[in-house]
Structure formats: C-alpha cells, structure tokens
C-alpha cells in the first residue's frame, strides 16, 4: 500500500489507524529519523494512545507466514 497526503501546515499531527489481515504478531517497525527503523510492539492491553509512535517517512508490517 502506498499512501500520500498533502498537508499545508507543518505544525500538525496526523493519526491513522489501519486494519489488515497481516499476521505480524503485533510487531511493526517505524522509522526514527528517516534512516533507522525501530521495532515496536502493539500493546492491546494499554490505552490506544500508548501505541502512538512518531515517524518521519515509513512504517513496515511483516507477515510471519
């Protein structure tokens, strides 16, 4: 999936929630600074806002299968 957004204001937070059939074991990756990927774990027992992570350019889901 490729998604592009055009935001006129740089001082804005954009939050998106996706639902997929990917079996990733609640593990995903976000970039920290446009160069390094950081492994993250979705914690469904905590409030949803604890699973918000900043990202610069990308997020990756990998199917375990």
**pLDDT per residue over 4-18, tens digit each?**
777 776 777 778 888
pTM beyond cutoff 0.85:
no
Average pLDDT over the chain, rounded to whole? 85
| Mean predicted confidence (pLDDT) in 44-59 | 87
Residue 63: the pLDDT is 92
> What pLDDT score was predicted for residue 2?
75
The ranges assigned to domains in the chain are: 27-60
SS (H, E, C) the chain: CCCCCCCCCCCCCCCCCCCCCCCCCCEEEEECCCCCEEEEECCCCCCHHHHCCCCCCCEECCCCC
For 17-47, write each residue's pLDDT tens digit. Answer: 888 899 999 999 999 887 889 999 989 899 9
């Amino acid at each position: 999936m490729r998604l592009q957004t055009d935001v006129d204001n740089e001082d804005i937070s954009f939050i998106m929630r996706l639902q997929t059939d990917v079996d990733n074991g609640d593990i995903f990756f976000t970039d920290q600074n446009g160069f390094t990927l950081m492994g993250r774990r979705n914690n469904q027992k905590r409030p949803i806002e604890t699973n918000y992570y900043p990202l610069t350019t990308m997020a990756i889901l990998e199917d375990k299968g």
